Structure 1
Amino acid sequence: MRKLRPFLLGCAALAALHPLPLAAQEATPTASESGLGDIVVTARRVEENLQNVPVAVTGFNAEMLSNLNIANFGDLGATVPNLDVQRQFGSASAPQFYLRGVSTGSLKFETDAGIGLYIDGVYLGRPAGTAFDLADIERVEVLRGPQGTLFGRNATGGAINFITAAPRGELRVKAEGTIGNYDRYKGRVSVDLPAWGPLSVRLSYLHDENSGYVKNLTPGRTFTFTEPFGTVKSAKDFGRENTDAVSVAARLDFDALKIDYKFDYTDKTSTQLGQQLLGFDPSFAGTAPFFYSDPSIVVGPSTKRQKALALDFTTPSHLKIQGHSLTAAYDFNDQITLKSITAYRKLDEFVGGNDIDGGALVVGGLPFTPISSIQDRHQDQWSEELQLLGNMGQFEWVVGGFWFKEKGNDDNPVFIGTLFPPVTLEPSRGPGTGTTVNIFGVPSDYLAGSDASVRNKSLAGYAHLTWRSDAFELAGGIRYTKDKRREELRAAGLIPFVTPAETFNASSDHWDFDATATYIVNPDVRFYARFATGYLSGGVLGGVEFKPETVKSYEVGFKGDLIDNTLRINAALFHTDRKNVQTLAFNAASGTFILSAPKAEENGFELEVIAVPTEGLTFNTSFGYLDAKLADNPTLGPVNSLAPKYTLNVGGQYDAPHFSNDSYLSFRVDGAFKDKRLSDPVQNSATAQLTTLPSRFDINARLSLVDMPIGGTKAKVSAWVQNLTDNQKLEFARNLSTSVIGVFQVPRTYGLDVGFEF
């Protein structure tokens, strides 16, 4: 991939300069031309206008994605009501999502996420490792609230679907480039090839890189481990990314039969934002001076964002993601279609070293860590979904079946109070094993870590029926899901030095339902009421079985395009009841564990408004309110909800009158607010101040010269800035039962984009 990069970027540059005739542009109405344009979503597994779907859903087309600089799942947090996305520590590629109070982001293969993540309708079994860029995104849709009937298990909070571009069957080239501060360089080229009979193909390549935002005071320190870890070297800086991504889309069109193959591949090397030491748990603080045995390194705690940290064990991580999907749709006639989605996806991530304690420490001349880890993860999955879709008169329906199988291996020792002598390091699996040296008397590097494999299977069948008249629409669905889960523990806790390696099995099944009634005032205005259930699969973690989480949701909503299609108002009011709530927590004694709350209740409100008061001027805002209450854990007491109570996004865009050459200036500004929120699910009054994330309001801006004629084509040049006011707020924090560690948000970034399409 690295060798191909100069060649592909060179092709993009040559293509951009070659004076080919401008291809006919796809007709896409803009706000200034025809009021508010339609946005297509597949919330009910068929393409529909977003305004006609009785579900709380936010949709983005390609132009919106470009203006908002959205390239992956992690970029959506500032644009959707009651959605928060945080960059946690533990992996540079595992963002933490909160949607209507439901969270995801665990690095553990044994646990699933309550938010369904999809690419081209294919379910991603592992939410960890989703901060990867796709080379060719066409649109995105975010469904809020349980989607248990049509999207299945693990969509209790909602579903997020990225749809990549399909081939067009005519020669077209699109090339884009970006330069920015922190050594930001980005290039992307997409090529549509002319159709060859029934076959059309589209190829895309993306390269994106930047240097880090925080310097490492201890770069280049090397540690050599036994396989599968090998030699690791501490990072030069934190927040650095280097991504190459490729996508291929091919279509065979035989009229009644259409076959689409899509392939995406991402190779990403990156470092975390940098774990900063915020303070100590009071029960541990008395021993803190013991760690400052290297006077040349300053590792004292601070609640202010530092421009340099001493992390001698945090190394770059390397993520490889690939996906293949084959979608075939056969139209028996105008009313009935049979559709098959067959997919394979693979994840390989060497997370590398993770200096969890937030300091570079030396004891007796040897590197020492109060708590750090190293991790190597691999996962692959197969899935098959078969759908029979029909529309007959006033009825539309879909009947489907879904099969999913995954396997994964995760080797993740956690070093507690450990010295690293200058030898090949083998993590200890019990007394008398390994070459690490523990000075706290902890008998194993896997006491809080694990070396485990998983084998998970899921099988489901579902049906959904919609009846429409001019004034009413009634819809309902049902789904049955059966899950089987297996955990093979080679090392974890007291395994294997007290009890032998063991395999644990769990199974569960569930029926889900939804029902929706819609009153259609006129083609542009409708009210709806919806009831839906959801199911988050249970399983086994560390040999301890945990129950499935279930949810019931009640929602009423309004969707309206008003004032001659110049004002769009979408609103939803919801109440959610959850049982056996699965919250992931961590402490140094037991590592990651399920912090279960018997029940939870969320009440909330969401509002999205887009207005075009005059030609060329567009305003948008979204507001989310969430009141989340979790019951106490029977053993540990109160459990914190980590979702913000208020989220707000405001934005505006002005497209100036066209110049004589038909180009024009466009200015856009967006602001995103999220309320203060907790970042640790375990309540601890002594450290609550350190683990409370402050409220923040971030501003992004973009100034563009659009449709500038150059060499027989048209170009778009944009100057942009993100985090305009250079906020430096705490983004994620956690009490590790020893020290309190946090990461801070990305500072102000700015740059210049240039794009051509012909």
Structure 2
Amino acid sequence: MAKKRQYSCRFLGFPDAHGIGSFSVLGVSMAALSAALFVMPASAQETEAEDATNRLGTVTVTARKVEENLQDVPVSVTAFTGELLAEKGVVEVADIAAFTPGFTTREANSNSTALVFSLRGQLQNDVLATLDPSVGTYVDDVYWARAYGLNFNLLDMESVQVLKGPQGTLFGRNTTGGALVFTSAKPDASAISGKGSVTLGNLNAQVYEGVLNLPVVTDRIAVRAAVRQSNRDGYITDLISGEEYNDRDITNARLKVLIAPHDDVELILSAEVYDEDMNGPGYGTIFGTGLTGAFLAGISPVPPVGPIPVAVPGYTDVVNSSGGDSVALDGDPFLTATAQTYSGVLNWDIGPGTLKLVAGDRRISSRTRTDLDGFAFPAGAGDSLHITTTVLDLSQTSFEAQYAGQGMNDRLQYVMGGTWFEETGFDATLTDLRVVPNPVILRFFGDVDTKSIGLYGQGTYDLTDRLRATVGLRYSEDEKGITTFNGNSIAGSDVFVSCSGGQAPPNCAETYSDTYDDLSYTFGLDFKPTANTLVYGKFSHGYRSGGQNLRLNGTADLDFDPETVDEFEAGFKGDLADNRVRFNVSAFTNKVKDAQRSIIVVVGSGNATVVQNAAEMTNTGLELEATVIPAEGWTLQGSAAVIDTSYDEYVDAGQDVSDRRIIGVPESEFALAATYERPLSFAKFMARIDYAWRDSYYNNELAPSAPASTPALQEAITAPASDVLNARLGLSFENGWDVSLWGRNILDDRSKLTGLYLGNFGYVSGRFREPATYGVTASYRFGAE
């Protein structure tokens, strides 16, 4: 059993000046709950004569598949309204993560349009078609199995919700860490409205966005169209070719149609497209050892003229200090990604409840070429090393039927339903190795076919006027099938010369199928001491489907087991001081069994990513959020999180490896924001500043005790503690015009975000945080927008 880590006050950003010493995370939660309860009487000190506009409003969420007040939901949720997203200038999911305690997001190593999420110690750190995420994504009620295109997809949003912890019942499979719920604005059949905006910024950034809402038949039929086009120059220079990497050219559009033939029936149809092209990404070498003859960008000086040095004499361990602004590549990297998403949602009020039918179809396609090593080899040493090309085409179809109603004299509120899901397609990776006598292409191809069904039901019963009990149950069944074509070919040929598995050339085909099932559940109690406070406790069992290793290499297990999580959470929610203070806190501890770990293994002269199970791990943490209106026009916000996470048991090839690093989980973080609004004679003035700090976290599981480990290497695989400061100044005019000046990452924190370590080649490469950006946005709104 791993030793339990203790935390001091410093993890929340404050010095332990009073010698209080350390305390456990759950101990802090009890103190916070007690303190919150004691401050409740402060509301009596407020007078009715004060301006009622200086109160916190109601935030509506659908964390339990029905609309509820955030403060009445016995679940840990961080919610953002569309208005708040606009106020923050949020267009990326990463911005949401910065202000959601315990939530971390970063771009996938193989594709920057796809995101990997970390929540409550749960992480899916790869985006293979055979590896399901531990944090589920739902957009307009449709489950997105793959997060491609989500990075910049916050177009015309009504709300974004982050549900924390295993969503074992209502959101079901593959949500052992939590769920992201995105809801785009729906058409309004009552009036014409719309908005348009133009943003100009440094790096020659240009963003054009438009939204138009048109009633076709008053109160019955309406159409809403939204489109955004975003482009920007690159900021990473290739010292060899002069190319600029990490530019941006993104188009995102959505069309929604509302049809309401009757007051009790509503049908919403949606079609969305996403398209991105990028020159890059530009990986840089962060660390290298023993690569005699290699040229490392930012380490070996580049001569203004003449050939690239043939060798870097005498170095053993080197670390790139270029800050990510320059690289020297030989792979001509590029990225393209497209996604098409179609959905239909029918809401039908039937008697005491509502029937909802949700149908979805989503197709994604991506092509990338990445110079993963981040350096160039000189003439005579070969043309390239680890030039990796990925090709992905996937289609998913889903259907869900749901009924939400009330019974037992309205003391029982319940939701029940069923889901069906299928995903088919192709995922392929080719890695070019040309530093061996016979240049080799490592080929990993997989045809996947996944089918899933789920049946669920959850009910909340009012035991008394203040005490409620919730019980939920879900059955999930997943059938995973795959045909792989894995092996080696000689560079310049598509013919396999050897196979990675047990088959033989020429096609190396192997076909496998497995079926997994699980019974997930949740139960909890919540109590309202006053009308504006809530105390709750709940226990949830969550499940993430198992699967097969797409990159089967002859040494890894063919398949990996499902992952299950048992979590207990206790929390407090309160609107205090006459609704001028909102304070929410939750403490949790979870036990993960057969945790799915994506690791890199050696395959001949190359590498492959495979998934294996760690027997057991434990995560314990505390999350809190607060919003305060101290005076007219002012709003202050803060959030913080701490987590202790460790492997209790992890055996690999008969060896105890429980001291391996846990990837992508910072131990602590906090965020602060202040907003000031004031009416002027000609406009409304708004100023906002926000700051987010996040502790260091690991990008690779290499343990300090591993034979290859050195202090320099451990530093290279660690994303250091980082902070981001953003600011925004704006004027909103009564004639519909808005103008704002903004800056992002004003402190220009350029710390590294990722670090890809390939041990048999002895290097770490990665990417760094984007530089400071700034600009101006002008927008015009009309109607009810």
Structure-1-length-normalised TM-score:
0.86
Structure 1 position 756, deviation (Å) = 1.1
Partner of 1:550: 564
Taking the aligned partners of 1:102 and 1:157, their CA distance within structure 2 comes to 5
Q: CA deviation at 1:199?
A: 1.0
Q: 2:249 aligns with which of 224, 242, 251?
A: 242
> Please, which moves more after superposition, 578-587 or 131-140?
131-140
| Contact 1:105-1:127 at 8 Å conserved across structures | no
What SS does the corresponding residue of 2:188 show, helix, strand or coil? coil
Q: From the superposition, tell whether residues 155 and 624 of structure 1 become closer, same or farther in structure 2 (CA, over 3 Å).
A: same
RMSD of aligned Cα (Å): 2.2
Aligned partner (choices 714, 735, 744) of residue 768 of structure 2: 744
State the shift of 1:574 in Å. 0.3
Residues 137-191 of structure 1: per-residue CA shift (max 9 Å, x gap):
1110000100021001110000001110101121112111100001110011100
1:416 CA drift (Å): 2.2
Offset of residue 44 of structure 1: 0.3
Does the CA contact (< 8 Å) of 2:130 and 2:448 recur in 1? yes
In the other structure, the counterpart of 2:482 is 487
User: Pick from 449, 454, 459: which aligns with 2:453?
Assistant: 459
CA contact (8 A) 2:294 2:377 kept: no
Whether 1:212 aligns to 2:207 is: no
Please identify, of 606-615 and 251-260, the stretch whose mean Cα deviation from structure 2 is larger: 251-260
**Aligned position for 1:653:** 675
For residues 272 and 165 of structure 2, what CA distance do their matches in structure 1 show? Answer: 28
Hey, what does 1:296 align to over in structure 2? 307
For residues 440 and 583 of structure 1, the distance between their equivalents in structure 2, rounded to whole angstroms, comes to 34
Aligned 8 A contact 1:146 1:157 in 2: yes
Secondary structure in structure 2 of the residue aligned to 1:378 = strand
Q: Which runs of 5+ in 1 are unaligned?
A: 1-30, 221-235, 419-438
Q: Percent identity?
A: 27
> Contact 2:294 / 2:378 at 8 angstroms: preserved in 1?
no
Work out which of the residue numbers 59, 62, 69 in structure 2 matches 1:39.
59
**Cα distance in 2, alignment partners of residues 678 and 290 from structure 1:** 23
Partner of 2:33: none
CA apart distance, 1:32? 8.2
Question: For residue 728 of structure 2, what is the aligned residue in structure 1?
Answer: 702
Task: Give 1:581's aligned residue.
Answer: 595
Partner letter of residue 346 of structure 2?
Answer: A
Distance between the aligned counterparts of 2:623 and 2:324, measured in 1?
Answer: 36
SS in 1 for 2:434: strand
Q: What is residue 778 of structure 2 aligned with on the other side? A: 754
What's the counterpart of residue 349 of structure 2?
Answer: 331
What's the counterpart of residue 127 of structure 1? 147
Q: CA 1:669–1:614 in 2, change beyond 3 Å: closer, same or farther?
A: same
> Per the alignment, do residues 166 and 117 of structure 1 end up closer, same or farther by CA in structure 2, a change over 3 Å counting?
same
Q: Contact 2:197/2:209 (CA < 8 Å) preserved in 1?
A: yes
**Aligned mates of 1:555, 1:414 — CA distance in 2:** 44
Residue 397, structure 1, aligned to residue 414, structure 2 = yes
Give the Cα–Cα distance (whole angstroms) in 1 for the partners of residues 378 and 103 of structure 2. Answer: 42
Structure 2 contact 120–619 (Cα < 8 Å) conserved: yes
Given that 2:324 and 2:750 are in contact with CA atoms closer than 8 Å, whether structure 1 keeps it comes out as: no
The alpha-carbon distance between structure 1 residues 177 and 211, as it changes in their structure 2 partners (threshold 3 A), is same
CA distance in 1, matches of 2:324, 2:75: 43
Q: What is the DSSP-based 3-state SS (H/G/I as helix, E as strand, rest coil) of the residue aligned with 2:446? A: strand
Task: Identify which of 181, 188, 194 aligns with 2:209.
Answer: 188
1:262 aligns with 2:283: no
CA distance in structure 2 between the partners assigned to 1:126 and 1:86 by the alignment: 14
Q: 1:136, CA displacement in angstroms?
A: 1.8
Per the TM alignment, residue 343 of structure 1 is displaced from its structure 2 partner at its CA by: 0.5
Supply the AA of the counterpart residue of 1:125: A
| CA distance, structure 2, for counterparts of residue 136 and residue 583 of structure 1 | 35
- SS across alignment from 1:76: helix
Give the superposition deviation at 1:73: 3.0
Change (3 A) 1:34 1:394: farther
1:596/1:144 Cα in 2 relative to 1: closer, same or farther (>3 Å)? same
Q: Offset of 1:308 from its aligned partner?
A: 1.9
| SS of residue paired to 2:150 | coil
Q: Does 1:345 align with 2:347?
A: no
CA distance in 1, matches of 2:332, 2:122: 30
**What residue in structure 2 maps to residue 717 of structure 1?**
739
Q: Does 1:156 align with 2:176?
A: yes
Residues 207 and 42 (structure 1), Cα distance of their counterparts in 2 relative to 1, 3 Å cut: same
Task: Please say if residues 446 and 484 of structure 2, whose CA atoms lie closer than 8 Å, have aligned partners that are also in contact.
Answer: yes
SS at match of 1:77: helix
- How has the CA–CA distance of structure 1 residues 538 and 287 changed in structure 2, closer, same or farther, with 3 Å as cutoff? farther
Q: How does 1:475-514 map to 2 (within 5 A)?
A: 475-492=470-487, 494-495=500-501, 497=504, 500-514=508-522
The Cα of 1:369 is off from its aligned counterpart by 1.8
CA contact (8 A) 2:295 2:377 kept: no
**Amino acid of the residue matched to residue 582 of structure 1?**
Q
Amino acid at match of 2:209: R
Which range moved further: 290-299 or 556-565?
A: 290-299
Structure 1 residue 286 displacement after superposition = 5.2
Question: Structure 2 CA distance, aligned partners of 1:210 and 1:483?
Answer: 42
Out of 29, 33, 55, the position equivalent to 2:75 is: 55
Residue number in structure 1 paired with 2:715: 689
TM superposition shift of 1:255:
1.0
1:520-578 deviations in whole A, cap 9, x for unaligned? 11221010001001111101003411000000000000000000000000000000000
* Aligned residue identity for 1:141: Q
Paired residues of 2:295 and 2:378 also in contact (CA < 8 A): no
**Contact 1:50–1:57 (CA<8 Å) still a contact in 2?**
yes
Match of 1:23 in 2: none
Given that residues 467 and 474 in structure 1 are in contact (C-alpha distance below 8 angstroms), is that contact kept between their aligned partners in structure 2?
A: yes
Distance in 1, Cα, partners of 2:453 & 2:625: 36
Provide the rounded CA distance (Å) in 1 between the counterparts of 2:264 and 2:341. 26
For 2:285, the aligned partner's letter is L
Native 8 Å contact 1:147 1:155 kept in 2: yes
Code of the aligned partner of 1:371: H
Structure 1 residue 730 displacement after superposition? 1.1
Question: Which residue does 1:386 correspond to in 2?
Answer: 401
Structure-2 separation of matches of 1:591 and 1:32: 61
Choose which of 374, 379, 395 in structure 2 pairs with 1:358.
Answer: 374
Q: How far apart are residue 287 of structure 1 and its match?
A: 6.4
Partner residue in 2 for 1:407: 424
Cα distance between partner residues in 1 of 2:619 and 2:88:
29
Q: Distance in 2 between matches of 1:48 and 1:565?
A: 18
Secondary structure of the residue aligned to 1:112 is: coil
| Counterparts in 2 of 1:296 and 1:618: CA distance versus 1, 3 Å | farther
Distance 2:236 2:601 in 1: 26
Q: What does the per-residue CA deviation read over 1:347-384, in whole Å, with 9 as the maximum and x for residues that have no partner? A: 01112x110111122433x8622222111111110000
Post-superposition Cα deviations, 1:710-730, rounded to whole Å, max 9, x if no partner, equal xxx321111010111111111
1:375 aligns with 2:386: no
What secondary structure does 1:363 align onto? coil
Partners of 2:334 and 2:370 within 8 A in 1: no
Query: Aligned residue for 1:251?
Result: 258
For 2:81 and 2:635, the matched residues in 1 are separated by: 16
Candidates 428, 441, 446, aligned match of 1:445: 441
| Amino acid paired to 1:481 | S
Residue 689 of structure 1: SS of its match in structure 2?
A: helix
Aligned position for 2:652: 634
Deviations 1:502-530 (A, max 9, x none): 11111110000001100111221010001
Give TM-score scaled by structure 2 length.
Answer: 0.83
Question: Are 1:536 and 2:520 an aligned pair?
Answer: no
Cα offset for 1:94? 1.9
Write the letter of the residue equivalent to 1:740.
V
Please give the alpha-carbon distance, in whole angstroms, between the structure 2 residues aligned to 1:56 and 1:239. Answer: 36
- Cα distance in 2 for partners of 1:578, 1:440 equals 45
Q: Which residue of 1 aligns with 2:328?
A: 310
1:673 aligned onto 2:693? yes
- Asked whether the 8 Å contact 2:281–2:333 carries over to 1, the reply is no
